Amino acid sequence: MKTVIEINESERDERIGRIMAECEAEEEQVYQDHISNPIYGNPAKQLTEYAKLTFKRYALKGWKLGFLKYEGTRNGNCNVQTKRITIDIDVLPKFTKDRLSGLFLHELAHALCAKEDVNNTGKGYDREKHGKDFRKMCRRINVPKEFWTATIVMDL
Ligand SMILES: [Zn+2]
């Protein structure tokens, strides 16, 4: 059974704001917990620097990179509403530098699809997910081919 709860727009915005703040606090905590550990800290710092430059290069204002523990459910995520790209902290010590940037660029392609509204939603949503417009974007920004499809969880 599905329960649909009707809420008005201001209530919805408030909820989104609350969820965003919670996510940010959680990411910050995970990041702080691991940043002193060289296994996570070094690749996290490098990827954060790379992300900053890349957001700037593609004029993605207000975007940030975060780290979360996805417990093997996914490697990364792009949230257009909160302007957040999040990488699973556990892939940091497992992935090579090239793979980490590839994973990040996959998520970045979602952000750019939304920014340029390639699916013509009129609202800048990233609706098509991993369809032909997404692949076109991947080619444009040089996402390695292994990252053109849905992010897969790899056991390494
Ligand atoms: Zn994706």
Output 124 or 64, whichever has higher pLDDT.
64
Centre of ligand 1 from the C-alpha of residue 14, in Å: 27
Phi-psi region of 117 (alpha: psi -120 to 50; beta: other; left: phi over 0): left
The pLDDT of 22-27, averaged and rounded, is 74
Count of CB atoms situated within 10 Å of the CB of 11: 10
**Cβ(50)–Cβ(65) below 8 Å:** no
The predicted pLDDT at position 19 comes to: 73
pLDDT of residue 117: 81
Average pLDDT value for the chain: 82
> pLDDT above 70 covers what percent of the chain?
76
Residue 44 Cα to ligand 1 midpoint, Å, equals 20
What is the distance in A from the centroid of ligand 1 to the CA of 154?
15
CA 42, CA 137: separation in Å to the nearest integer? 29
- Which DSSP string corresponds to 63-90? -EEEEE--TTS-SEEEETTTTEEEEEGG
CA nearest 132: which of 111, 149, 115?
149
What is the distance in A from the centroid of ligand 1 to the CA of 8? 30
Segment 98-125 shows an average pLDDT of 86
Distance 129 CA to ligand 1 centre (A): 6
pLDDT band at 143 (very low <50, low <70, confident <90, very high): very high
pLDDT at residue 18, rounded to an integer = 76
Mean pLDDT of 128-153: 87
- Residue 151 DSSP one-character state: P
What is the percentage of the chain residues whose pLDDT exceeds 90?
39
Higher pLDDT, 146 or 27: 146
The pTM assigned to this predicted structure is: 0.77
Q: Domains of the chain by range and CATH?
A: 9-147 (3.30.2010.10)
Query: Once rounded to an integer, what is the mean pLDDT over residues 89-94?
Result: 89
> 107 alpha carbon to ligand 1 midpoint, in Å?
6
